[in-house]
């Protein structure tokens, strides 16, 4: 596996640990619908949370969360809609980003709650 894939998987594991510690219930990891993939789908209190995890080894080129642009946001929104329809859910949905910098075995984690709103991309 390529080094960047290893880094991404390590970041997703850190994100899962952090979300579980915050009391989130993890429903899915790496859930796919056609072309879209959601890193983590969870429940926080009464909200369905769609989580995008971005992991980097440095912030030299900017913060990891900066990589979630409009196209990625639209893909996450479409995936969330598909998941809700597939599972016949009637719940509020929130989009979070977990931004991680893994360097020398240490993690700097930034959990951005309500990172964007679906209405902003429709």
92: Cβ–Cβ under 8 A, 6 or more apart, which residues? Answer: 46, 47, 48
Residue from 64, 59, 80 nearest 112 by CA: 64
pLDDT tens per residue, range 80-106: 999 999 999 999 999 999 999 988 778
Tally the domains of the chain.
1
CA atoms within 13 A on the CB side of 12: 17
Range of the domain at 53: 3-121
* pTM for the predicted model, two decimal places: 0.90
CATH number at residue 67: 3.40.1350.10
pLDDT at 13: 93
pLDDT at 24: 98
DSSP string of 48-116, one letter each residue? EEEEEEEEES-STT--GGGG--HHHHHHHHHHHHHHHHHTT---EEEEEEEEEEEETTEEEEEEEEEEE
pLDDT at 3: 54
């Amino acid at each position: 596996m390529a080094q960047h894939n290893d880094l991404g998987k390590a970041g997703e594991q850190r994100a899962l640990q952090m979300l579980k510690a915050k009391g989130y219930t993890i429903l899915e990891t790496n859930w796919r619908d056609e072309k879209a993939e959601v890193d983590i789908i969870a429940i926080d209190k009464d909200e369905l949370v769609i989580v995008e995890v971005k992991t980097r080894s440095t912030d030299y080129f900017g913060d990891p969360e900066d990589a979630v642009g409009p196209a990625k946001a639209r893909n996450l929104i479409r995936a969330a809609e598909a998941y809700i329809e597939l599972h016949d859910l009637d719940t509020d949905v929130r989009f979070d980003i977990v931004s991680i910098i893994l360097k020398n075995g240490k993690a700097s984690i930034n959990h951005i709650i309500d990172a964007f709103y679906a209405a902003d991309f429709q």
